[in-house]
Amino acid sequence: MAKREALALVAHDEKKDDLVRFVSRHRKHLAGYDLYATGTTGARINAALPELKVTPLKSGPLGGDQQIGAMIAEGRIGGLIFFIDPLTPMPHDVDVKALTRLAVLYDIPMALNARTAELMLVGPAKPTAGRRGKAGT
């Protein structure tokens, strides 16, 4: 039996709804991965899409980001989707920087927004004029 690739799903508070919608739109693609998520994000995805069976870790500020970082360092995570909120100051900003550093160091794909995450999952698509510069999509 072949080992499935694993993805980590993380979202700042103001982006959790966006990530849940993204996961819902791409559930067929995501069903082929072992999915891990920080606490509240994982619980919200599991509530909305229980068929995906996301493994929730601790909340990001309580160590969930570090758990994902450790899994990246161990080679257990093959990609990271982290919907960041660029407009809200984050007291745990160092966690975002640490995850970014590990994704670069271990050469795994990291998406910080929906368009990049779509490219990661389904490949390039023809750009549409309605998407360009539209915040929050």
The catalytic residue positions are: 65
Rg, Å, the chain Cα set: 14
DSSP structure string for 3-34: PPPEEEEEE-GGGHHHHHHHHHHTHHHHTTSE
Find out whether 52 and 30 touch, Cβ atoms under 8 Å: yes
Give φ, ψ of 132 to 5 degrees: -60, 125
CA angle 7, 130, 124 (to 5 degrees): 40
CA–CA distance, 35 with 37 (Å, rounded to integer): 7
Residues 6+ apart with CB under 8 A from 102: 69, 72, 73
